[in-house]
């Protein structure tokens, strides 16, 4: 199967989707337990939510599921949030801390190495190529990493998650104007709550590629799924009405980031 999809655009903005894929090779699928086969930790419908909001943006989407291997984790297995509950490069549990693999079928070191070669590296090679291509055109590239998560997950965080969770690794991964624009627009959305560098400060993708001094900026947007799903439980159906209200603000954020990027190159 193709492990990623790329749509090339002319904008300085690149949208990355590491967690919307639901493809699981049969040999891996058979090793998941019933809980794992729910694929509950998918970033459900996020690529649909962003579709058409910035028509000239490049998009890079992983088609494989994060239970195969997580495209937004450090290849060396280093935790993004030391001391806090999280899931690893190849998760052993779901976001509720429950096992996802059949007993005795947990991925081995060799399995992880194979999945790195077959999934993680190809996805990031494609993403890196697009960053380089866009930067060659504009002199600057902005990677906007698109995510979502259930709003209530006690294993990972206390209480309800804000609706907009903006991550820039405490301002290290992008020009301050990019962070500020995203935060101001999210803050104007009175029906939603927002936070900058709260529980989610940007995953490995944001932290790895975001090097403002080189002209490559990165920002992560983690949306609470309650903002665009009918329910945060199976079948995780898309709610078009909720989504349309949210898309209004996401479009403003992306348009503003694009305008800032075009200013940065001058």
Which residue positions in the chain have pLDDT lower than 70? 266
Q: What's the burial of 221, exposed, middle or buried (CB within 10 Å: 0-12/13-18/19+)?
A: buried
pTM greater than 0.85 (yes/no): yes
Give CA–CA dist 198/169, Å, rounded.
Answer: 10
Q: What is the CATH number of the domain that holds 214?
A: 3.40.630.40
The three-state secondary structure class of 155 is: coil
**Cα-Cα end-to-end distance for the chain:** 41
Q: What's the confidence (pLDDT) of residue 211?
A: 97
User: What one-character DSSP code corresponds to residue 216?
Assistant: E
| Axis-axis angle for helices 176-188, 240-264 (nearest 10) | 150
Q: What's the confidence (pLDDT) of residue 266?
A: 59
Range(s) of the domain holding residue 73: 4-264
Number of domains in the chain: 1
């Amino acid at each position: 199967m193709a492990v990623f999809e790329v749509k090339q655009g002319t904008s300085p903005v690149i949208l990355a989707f590491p967690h919307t894929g639901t493809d699981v090779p049969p040999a891996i699928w058979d090793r998941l337990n019933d809980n794992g086969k729910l694929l509950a930790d998918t970033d459900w419908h996020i690529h649909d939510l962003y579709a058409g909001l910035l028509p000239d943006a490049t998009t890079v989407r992983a088609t494989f599921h994060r239970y195969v291997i997580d495209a937004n984790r450090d290849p060396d297995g280093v935790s993004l949030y030391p001391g806090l509950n999280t899931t690893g490069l190849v998760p052993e549990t779901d976001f509720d801390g429950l096992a996802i693999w059949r007993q005795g079928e947990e991925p081995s070191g060799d399995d992880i190495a194979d999945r790195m070669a077959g999934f993680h590296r190809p996805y990031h090679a494609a993403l890196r190529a697009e960053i380089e291509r866009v930067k060659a055109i504009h002199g600057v590239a902005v990677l906007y990493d698109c995510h979502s998560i259930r709003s209530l997950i006690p294993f990972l965080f206390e209480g309800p998650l804000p609706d907009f969770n903006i991550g820039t690794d405490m301002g290290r991964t992008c020009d301050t104007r990019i962070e500020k624009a995203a935060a101001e627009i999210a803050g104007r959305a009175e029906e939603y709550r927002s936070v900058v560098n709260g529980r989610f400060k940007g995953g490995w993708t944001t932290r790895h590629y975001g090097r403002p001094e080189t002209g490559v900026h990165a920002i992560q947007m983690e949306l609470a799924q309650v903002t665009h799903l009918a329910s945060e439980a199976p079948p995780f159906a898309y709610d078009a009405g909720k989504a349309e209200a949210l898309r209004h603000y996401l479009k403003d954020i992306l348009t503003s980031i694009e305008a800032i990027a075009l200013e940065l190159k001058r």
